[in-house]
Chain A
Amino acid sequence: QKWMKFQRDFENFKTACIPWEMKIKEIESHFGSSVASYFIFLRWMYGINMILFGLTFGLVMVPEALMGKPYGSLPRKTVPRAEEASAMNFATLWDFSGFAQYSVLFYGYYNNQRTIGWLKFRMPLSYFLVGVGTIGYSFMIVIRTMARNANEEGGGDDTSFNFSWKMFTSWDYLIGNPETADNKFASITTSFKEAIVEEQESRKEENIHLTRFLRVLANFLALCTLAGSGYLIFFVVRRSQKFALEGLENYGWWERNEVNMVMSLLGMFCPTLFDVISSLENYHPRIALRWQLGRIFALFLGNLYTFIIALMDEINLKASYSLPFLEEEKIVKYNMTIWEASLYNGTIPENSTAPPIQVDPADVPRGPCWETMVGQEFVRLTVSDTMTTYITILIGDFLRAVFVRFFNYCWCWDLEYGFPSYSEFDISGNVLGLIFNQGMIWMGSFYAPCLPAINVFRLHTSMYLQCWAVMCCNVPQQRVFKASRSNNFYMAMLLFILFLSTLPAVYTIVSIPPSFDCGPFSGKTRMFEVISETLEHDFPSWFGKVFGYASNPGLILPFILLMVLSIYYLNATSKSYKEANLELKKKLQSVRNRGLLI
């Protein structure tokens, strides 16, 4: 007996340890399981980001901070003399230049020394492996969660006695606390409403032809909107290139930020448009949510794609005016040798055998460092995205609720039922925002190791802010529906974004030479050469030989073929297992109905 009691207490303790469980249960009882599924997703993302943060912080930032050369000892670690005056300003720090740029937060700070400190910690190798490892870990965990959810889905949704059980067995007789009782009442009501919606949907009779026609029309409208927004972005980007050619000083604030503003505005208004279109379609709310998510996803992808084209165009434009990067680097190197020579008051030395003169690192001319630039862009984007979300919540939800509540007394029509009223929680917008944010993090964390840290902080505060905002300013939706028990739809989108965001990083690792003057890979022709270097120096020679044989394409191609075949085989067997499972279940059901089983 005591053992059972102990087990129960331990279960209670374990549930109490899950962070934010109480908050999420409260939201679930008032708003339904679909809104709660967003928060559960948020919590899961927080877990992943914590682990990514642990990896980057523990294996990359801390060793460099503790064991690498300190600030000011190398040129790449110091703020250049020209910028020193403004390096400590808040504006510069907020923009992540100045002191923030020349610190462990960004790629450019790291030294390319092979081992650092007394532990002989291999910094460049660790940087590379952590970068690859974060991506690998994310893939693994997304796929593992998808597989686990796929297993649960075969549970079988249609139980008999659904409503009867809800009515007679849902009250928990152990409740003695009035607040818990309130939550329990709300959750029972919501659960009934969800079941009622399911029942109504299954009873609905459809006029097939009319519905089909309306759905085709709705899809056509959605496609038009997507095409329109793509063209608009393209047009605006072309205009901004024209402005750039003529010099940005001639134009005001709007022209300078036109691209960003247009993208944000599109992101704000098009989803509402999609919402209106979807009311034509008359789907089950869960399916309608999926269509909505899919369309907004396509919208954001299109916007991102055009934005990236714009960026590449701009880089090419700059490159065709000033010389491309390699040329620029050569020129800077040449300038540096000339500058050194000027210190010796003489001709350019062939071999510098003269003793090195002490030069303050801040004065050394610096080469371009595109990785840090890219990292900075991503960090700025994340920060501005966070700010926009928080401000939208505060203004869109909170101020609106305050306005409706207090001005209702002195307004012509009933504000609470009429036009503004309280806002509902926008599931699709928030989920997509979360997924795209994570895509940014994955893209940028190779160039800016501080990104997972920033994201952990952002998710933490976002959880509290959104929980408070939901409970305080939103009302439950008109039709509450049960979320599909697995979050597989969100996972599939996440996987797709993960794949897309690792492509740029992989491309740069494999084909672009790293900057010669900054970062842990400076001096090499390709970033992945750090691995071959490690193999040469640190492992016994037979290992290198074995690896050389193994990386022969003749061996790798059959291996890939074998893996594809085994995937196909496993898929086929799992399908047959599922069918066998369904057959058994049907048999069980029919036997039970006949009354032979109790």
Chain B
Amino acid sequence: VYRLHGRYHEMAPNVVPMDYTKDPDVKLPMQLIINMPELKENPFKERIVESFSEDGEGTLSFNDFVDMFSVLSEMAPRELKAIYAFKIYDFNTDNFICKSDLEKTLNKLTREELTAEEITLVCEKVIEEADMDGDGKLGFADFENMISKAPDFLRYCFKKKI
């Protein structure tokens, strides 16, 4: 935790106090966080920060900061990672991953290199593959079901080292 505090502090030394015993109310804005080297190249960096922030605006207090890195570490259990993964990919925060969320994810992943009809094809295929209850969008149960069978999830996703 001390290392995390060190990183948190060095992002904005004039704002963050060294002493947390009095539990001050300090929050760091999103811009500083997404410039961290671990997150800089990640296409989902804004979503990651937003989903961990308490007020939903993207500012992280130190508690949120610690939460974020604990979920991203190797120690976190799979279910916890799956919950946060769902939050990250849910762009409009309606607790469902609908088609527009999928389109946004795809565009971020491929940096908009695919044509429009390729994008629609992929999104349709995803919904066709993973949607179990047939409502045209992915609820958390569908997502959990699909992710739990994926061999690569733990290997690539959500592993951070400080």
Could you say which of B41, B130, B146 contacts A177, with CB atoms under 8 Å apart? B41
Over the window 67-97 of chain B, the binary record of Cβ atoms lying under 8 Å from chain A Cβ atoms (1 yes, 0 no) is: 0000010000000000001000100000000
Chain A residues, CB < 8 A from B122: 163, 167, 192, 195-196
Cβ < 8 Å to B, chain A residues 351-381 = none
Cβ < 8 Å to B, chain A residues 164-222 = 164-165, 167-178, 180-181, 185, 188-189, 192-193, 195-196, 199-200
Q: Is the pair B72, A173 in contact by a Cβ cutoff of 8 Å? A: yes
**Known interface pairs A161-B146, A163-B126; A189-B110 also in contact (CB < 8 Å):** yes
**Known interface pairs A173-B72, A173-B158, A192-B114; A167-B152 also in contact (CB < 8 Å):** no
**Known interface pairs A165-B150, A169-B157; A176-B40 also in contact (CB < 8 Å):** yes
A163 to B119, CA, bound (A): 11
Chain A residues, CB < 8 A from B89: 168
Q: Is the pair B72, A188 in contact by a Cβ cutoff of 8 Å? A: no
Cβ < 8 Å to A, chain B residues 82-126 = 85, 89, 102, 105-106, 109-111, 113-114, 118, 121-122, 125-126
A189 to B43, CA, bound (A): 14
B129 within 8 A of A: yes
A200 to B121, CA, bound (A): 9
Q: Is the pair A181, B114 in contact by a Cβ cutoff of 8 Å? A: no
Q: Is the pair B41, A175 in contact by a Cβ cutoff of 8 Å? A: yes
Chain A residues, CB < 8 A from B42: 171, 173, 175
A489 to B102, CA, bound (A): 38
**Known interface pairs A178-B41, A188-B110, A192-B122; A164-B148 also in contact (CB < 8 Å):** no
Q: Is the pair B160, A169 in contact by a Cβ cutoff of 8 Å? A: no
Chain B residues, CB < 8 A from A168: 85, 89, 105, 146-147, 150, 153, 157
Q: Closest residue of chain B to A176, judged by CB?
A: B37
* Chain A contact patch, size range: 20 to 34
A180 to B106, CA, bound (A): 19
Chain A residues, CB < 8 A from B129: 160-164
B20 within 8 A of A: no
What's the minimum C-beta distance from A202 to chain B, rounded to whole angstroms?
Answer: 11
B149 within 8 A of A: yes
A598 within 8 A of B: yes
B5 within 8 A of A: no
Chain B residues, CB < 8 A from A176: 37-38, 40-41
A174 to B42, CA, bound (A): 9
Could you say which of A161, A172, A199 contacts B130, with CB atoms under 8 Å apart? A161
**Known interface pairs A168-B85, A199-B121; A192-B110 also in contact (CB < 8 Å):** yes
Q: Is the pair B41, A164 in contact by a Cβ cutoff of 8 Å? A: no
Q: Is the pair A173, B109 in contact by a Cβ cutoff of 8 Å? A: no
**Known interface pairs A169-B153, A173-B159; A189-B111 also in contact (CB < 8 Å):** yes
A170 to B160, CA, bound (A): 16
What's the minimum C-beta distance from B88 to chain A, rounded to whole angstroms?
Answer: 10
* Chain B contact patch, size range: 35 or more
**Known interface pairs A173-B160, A174-B159, A176-B38; A165-B118 also in contact (CB < 8 Å):** no
Q: Closest residue of chain B to A188, judged by CB?
A: B109
Interface SS, A side: helix
Q: Is the pair A196, B152 in contact by a Cβ cutoff of 8 Å? A: no
A593 to B150, CA, bound (A): 16
Chain B residues, CB < 8 A from A173: 42, 72, 156-160
Q: Is the pair B158, A161 in contact by a Cβ cutoff of 8 Å? A: no
Chain B residues, CB < 8 A from A160: 129, 149
Chain B residues, CB < 8 A from A200: 121
Chain B residues, CB < 8 A from A163: 122, 125-126, 129
Chain A residues, CB < 8 A from B102: 167
**Known interface pairs A163-B125, A169-B156, A199-B125; A192-B118 also in contact (CB < 8 Å):** yes
Interface core residue of A168, A172, A176, A196 (most chain B CB under 10 Å): A168
A167 to B105, CA, bound (A): 8
B44 within 8 A of A: yes
**Known interface pairs A167-B126, A171-B44; A185-B110 also in contact (CB < 8 Å):** yes
**Known interface pairs A164-B126, A185-B111; A172-B156 also in contact (CB < 8 Å):** yes
Q: Is the pair A181, B41 in contact by a Cβ cutoff of 8 Å? A: yes
A176 to B41, CA, bound (A): 6
Q: Is the pair B109, A171 in contact by a Cβ cutoff of 8 Å? A: yes
Chain B residues, CB < 8 A from A164: 126, 129-130, 146
Over the window 121-162 of chain B, the binary record of Cβ atoms lying under 8 Å from chain A Cβ atoms (1 yes, 0 no) is: 110011001100000000000000011111011001111110
What's the minimum C-beta distance from B45 to chain A, rounded to whole angstroms?
Answer: 10
Q: Is the pair B150, A171 in contact by a Cβ cutoff of 8 Å? A: no
Chain B residues, CB < 8 A from A180: 41
What's the minimum C-beta distance from A477 to chain B, rounded to whole angstroms?
Answer: 15
What's the minimum C-beta distance from B151 to chain A, rounded to whole angstroms?
Answer: 8
Chain B residues, CB < 8 A from A181: 41
Chain B residues, CB < 8 A from A175: 41-42
Chain B residues, CB < 8 A from A192: 106, 109-110, 114, 118, 122
Q: Is the pair A167, B159 in contact by a Cβ cutoff of 8 Å? A: no
Q: Closest residue of chain A to B105, judged by CB?
A: A167
Chain A residues, CB < 8 A from B40: 176
**Known interface pairs A164-B126, A175-B41; A170-B109 also in contact (CB < 8 Å):** yes
What's the minimum C-beta distance from A260 to chain B, rounded to whole angstroms?
Answer: 45
Q: Is the pair B149, A161 in contact by a Cβ cutoff of 8 Å? A: yes
Q: Is the pair B121, A167 in contact by a Cβ cutoff of 8 Å? A: no
What's the minimum C-beta distance from A163 to chain B, rounded to whole angstroms?
Answer: 4
A164 to B122, CA, bound (A): 9
A160 to B142, CA, bound (A): 14
A165 to B41, CA, bound (A): 21
Chain B residues, CB < 8 A from A169: 147, 150, 152-153, 156-157
A453 to B113, CA, bound (A): 45
What's the minimum C-beta distance from A165 to chain B, rounded to whole angstroms?
Answer: 5
Chain B residues, CB < 8 A from A598: 148
Q: Is the pair B113, A196 in contact by a Cβ cutoff of 8 Å? A: no
What's the minimum C-beta distance from A492 to chain B, rounded to whole angstroms?
Answer: 31
Can you list 12 A-B contacts (CB < 8 A)? A164-B129, A164-B146, A167-B105, A168-B146, A168-B153, A169-B152, A171-B44, A173-B157, A175-B41, A185-B110, A192-B114, A195-B122
Q: Which residues of A contact B (CB under 8 A)?
A: 160-165, 167-178, 180-181, 185, 188-189, 192-193, 195-196, 199-200, 598
- 10 nearest A-B pairs in the assembled complex, by CB-CB distance: A181-B41, A163-B125, A189-B110, A169-B152, A189-B113, A172-B156, A164-B130, A164-B126, A165-B150, A163-B126
